Amino acid sequence: MMHDFTLRVAGESGEGVITVGETVARIAAREGLQLVTFRTFPAEIKGGACMMQLRLSEQKITYHGEKVDCLVALNQVALDENFPVLKEQGVLLCEAECDVPDDGLSATVYKVPFERIAVREIGSRISKNIVVLGVLAELLGIPKPRIEEFLAEKFAKKSEAILDHNMQALEKGICFARENFSKREGFGFPRGKPERHLLMTGNEAIALGSAAAGVKCFFGYPITPASEIMEWLAVHLPKLGGKVLQTEDEISAICAVAGASWAGEKSMTATSGPGVSLMSEALGLLSIAEIPAGIVDSQRGGPSTGLPTKTEQSDLMLAIHGSHGDAPRVVIAPTSVSECITMMGAAFYFAEKYQIPVIVLVDQALSARVETVNPRAVEEIPQSSRLRAQAPAEGNFARYKLANSPVSPAAIPGTDGCEHMVTGMEHDEFGNFACDDETHTAMTVKRFRKLEEIENDPLTQNLCETIGEGRADIGVVTWGSSAGPVEEAIQEARRLGISVRGLVPKILNPLPHAQMKKFFSEVSRVIVPELNFTGQLASQLRATYRVPTISLTKIKGVPLEPSEIVAKIIEAADGLQQRSARRYGRAG
């Protein structure tokens, strides 16, 4: 058996590609395997090319794999488009009528008349994907009862005839493979550990993490790829005593968050880049009025409607700086589905403790990918609550009290003796409009001191992951979902004998300065891979630490691949060698 196995199913949207992928994923998770998936979405509402890739492993993995062990292609277009990702000795399973490219001779090819079996023998074209599942089950050694169990659950609400059709289709697939093909030795499902994992998408994890962090109010407006967060919460948050409200636009969503949060509840919204653009005025309001808020930005290709179904990490600058005036906020970026859960806890920890808006940056690939999650992740969520005010013994309540701590106690509106006004205008300690230079300076300093305190918060120290230790020639710094491929690239580069380390800050504003500075002092060259055109983290690092960086950017709408990063690492390592060769007059 293999320890690590990657499968890609490709076809046209509507052909059941995703069902095949999801079934294999769910069975694998039940078998105790770790997995990460990646899927593409057509921009069309119906139809268009789509694929789902799954990587199954006995070990914890954070990337969906670059080349696949097994490719399932349901039509010629899918075969032609996806064939290049098949490993040299891989297995190709395709519709019988497809022409296999000439350079595919080293692959093991299984041709199956999926469509004919479905139409002629089952009498239902749409059960084609279940025939695929049957053939796969036989070739990979997936136990048939597992699939039957899953199908019974999936079609529980449908008629018995439909379930029957699907069971028949499964059986036909298995029989066809058994009669026509011989199984390849050593090819198949890895063996899992006897533990069960939760299987969820990044968006589901964000929603779950928010609920577990104590969010009671969600306001949102539909936008790809963030809508599923609102959809999950619409079903589950009311059961937890919360409220979900779909507003007429993103401006309303964020302003409703401001209202609900001022009234004392943990509140949030989730959107994508175009939504954050509309929300940016309110980000300023939340900063100056010192109102806690959680804002999830699931990034997609931009600007404007851009590439609505494709991934990109191009909102970093928007997240850190997007608004008018000096408006501090916290920006954090989870790197995996598990972290989507815990980082929502971190977001509300910072938001409530420091009374500041917090932006959580994910991207389409992370939002949509399915990953195994430790069921105990929810218990690891940091909890925090807002500093509550006591009514003053005499005089008015000072909502924005200038004291040693930049965080002033807050009061729920209507608390006796704590009547106050929060305002988007510059204000004194009591919330009175004050535009004199002294007040504006003192209050701006107060608001920015929160970022200093956050930088030194014990939680912040945990929000930076280092890969490797000690001095290294090359250091790779990345963020968000690019961390997975970077981690794999570093492992590969080390196998090639290159001295390389990695750093993944998960809090991007404020940056974890101590760890960043230490890292930069220990590496000779810094590579910054990220999914945008301008190298947004790289320019942030150059501006903050004055370190020369080598940007590796990609805007193809898909995640970085480890080989691209390895190539850049090799290039940088070669350059370094030549430089030292020149300096010391030795031959490289």
Partner 1 sequence: MYKILFNRDIGLNPHSFMLPEPVQDIADYGAIPTTGLTSGHQGCAGCGMVSGTNQVLRALKLTGKHVVASIGTGCNEVITTQNTSCWGDASVDHNNFPNTGATLSGNIAALKALEKAGLASADAFINLGMAGDGGTYDIGLQALLAWIARGENGLYVCLNNQAYMNTGVQGSGATPFGTNTSTTPFGKVVHGNQRTPQYLPDLALAAGARYVATACPAHHRDLMIKVQKAAAIEGPCVVEIFSVCPEGWKSETDVFHEITELALETRSWILYEAERDHKNNTVLFTLNYAPKKYLPVSEYLQMQERFSGMRALSEMVEKTQEIIEARWSFWNPVLAANRTNGEETIHDA
Sole binder of partner 1 in the list 58, 148, 171, 231 (CB under 8 A): 231
Contact stretch for partner 1 (CB under 8 A) within 90-98, 221-229, 511-519, 544-552? 221-229
Does residue 244 interact with partner 1 by CB under 8 A?
Answer: yes
Contact stretch for partner 1 (CB under 8 A) within 95-103, 112-120, 224-232, 492-500? 224-232
Contact stretch for partner 1 (CB under 8 A) within 194-202, 208-216, 217-225, 560-568? 217-225
Does residue 125 interact with partner 1 by CB under 8 A?
Answer: no
Per-residue binding string, partner 1, 275-314, x by CB under 8 A, is ---x-------------------------xx---------
Shortest spacing between CB 225 and partner 1, in angstroms: 9
Does residue 441 interact with partner 1 by CB under 8 A?
Answer: no
Sole binder of partner 1 in the list 246, 396, 423, 524 (CB under 8 A): 246
Shortest spacing between CB 582 and partner 1, in angstroms: 52
Q: Determine phi and psi for 245, rounding to 5 degrees.
A: -130, 125
Residue whose CB is less far from partner 1, 134 or 273: 273
| Maximum distance among all Cα pairs of the chain, rounded to whole angstroms | 89
Tell me the two tokens of residue 210: 């928010």
Contact stretch for partner 1 (CB under 8 A) within 192-200, 232-240, 449-457, 476-484? 232-240
- What contacts 442, CB < 8 A, 6 or more positions away? 402
Contact stretch for partner 1 (CB under 8 A) within 156-164, 234-242, 254-262, 461-469? 234-242
Query: CA 410 to CA 375: how far, in whole Å?
Result: 34
Sole binder of partner 1 in the list 1, 96, 152, 235 (CB under 8 A): 235
Shortest spacing between CB 226 and partner 1, in angstroms: 9
Residue appearing with tokens 């997975």: 484
Does residue 238 interact with partner 1 by CB under 8 A?
Answer: yes
Q: Determine phi and psi for 48, rounding to 5 degrees.
A: 95, 155
- Are the CB atoms for 214 and 266 separated by under 8 Å? yes
Residue whose CB is less far from partner 1, 221 or 349: 221
Residue appearing with tokens 């409200």: 245
Residue whose CB is less far from partner 1, 47 or 84: 47
DSSP 427: B
Shortest spacing between CB 222 and partner 1, in angstroms: 4
- Please give the single-letter amino acid code of residue 147: I
Residue whose CB is less far from partner 1, 303 or 575: 303
Does residue 123 interact with partner 1 by CB under 8 A?
Answer: no
Sole binder of partner 1 in the list 11, 21, 274, 512 (CB under 8 A): 274
Does residue 230 interact with partner 1 by CB under 8 A?
Answer: yes
b/e string for 462-496 if b means 16 or more Cβ within 10 A? ebbeebbeeebbbbbbbbbbbbbbbbbbbebbbee
- Are the CB atoms for 225 and 309 separated by under 8 Å? yes
Does residue 227 interact with partner 1 by CB under 8 A?
Answer: yes
Shortest spacing between CB 235 and partner 1, in angstroms: 5
Does residue 267 interact with partner 1 by CB under 8 A?
Answer: no
Does residue 79 interact with partner 1 by CB under 8 A?
Answer: no
Query: CA 260 to CA 247: how far, in whole Å?
Result: 13
Instruction: Please state, in angstroms and as integers, the Cα–Cα distance from residue 235 to each residue in 92, 122, 238, 240, following that order.
Output: 40, 36, 7, 10
Tell me the two tokens of residue 334: 């989870």
- Are the CB atoms for 222 and 392 separated by under 8 Å? no
Q: Residue 368: which H helix or E strand, with range?
A: helix 364-368
Residue whose CB is less far from partner 1, 230 or 320: 230
DSSP 509: E
Residue whose CB is less far from partner 1, 48 or 424: 48
- What contacts 70, CB < 8 A, 6 or more positions away? 5, 6, 7, 8, 90, 91, 92, 93, 136, 139, 140, 187
Sole binder of partner 1 in the list 2, 175, 234, 570 (CB under 8 A): 234
Does residue 47 interact with partner 1 by CB under 8 A?
Answer: yes
Contact stretch for partner 1 (CB under 8 A) within 3-11, 247-255, 327-335, 485-493? 247-255
Residue 94 CA neighbour count, 13 Å, CB half: 25
Does residue 269 interact with partner 1 by CB under 8 A?
Answer: no
Residue whose CB is less far from partner 1, 277 or 396: 277
Residue whose CB is less far from partner 1, 220 or 505: 220
Contact stretch for partner 1 (CB under 8 A) within 153-161, 225-233, 537-545, 551-559? 225-233
Does residue 162 interact with partner 1 by CB under 8 A?
Answer: no
Helix or strand or coil: residue 209? Answer: helix
Per-residue binding string, partner 1, 27-46, x by CB under 8 A, is ----------------xxxx
DSSP string, 523-549: EEEEEEEESSSS-HHHHHHHHHH---E
DSSP string, 553-574: E--SSS---HHHHHHHHHHHHH
Sole binder of partner 1 in the list 34, 53, 127, 224 (CB under 8 A): 224
- Residue of 36, 376, 65 whose CA lies nearest to 200: 36
Strand ranges in 171-261 using DSSP code E only, listed in sequence order: 198-201, 217-220, 243-246
Shortest spacing between CB 248 and partner 1, in angstroms: 4
Residue whose CB is less far from partner 1, 152 or 235: 235
- Are the CB atoms for 17 and 9 separated by under 8 Å? yes
Please list the residues that pair with 276 across neighbouring strands.
none
Query: CA 256 to CA 140: how far, in whole Å?
Result: 51
Residues in the interface with partner 1 (CB under 8 A) total 26
Query: CA 472 to CA 68: how far, in whole Å?
Result: 31
- Are the CB atoms for 437 and 444 separated by under 8 Å? no
Residue whose CB is less far from partner 1, 134 or 275: 275
Residue whose CB is less far from partner 1, 221 or 354: 221
Binding site for partner 1 (CB under 8 A): 43-48, 221-224, 227-228, 230-231, 234-235, 238, 244, 246, 248-250, 274, 278, 304-305
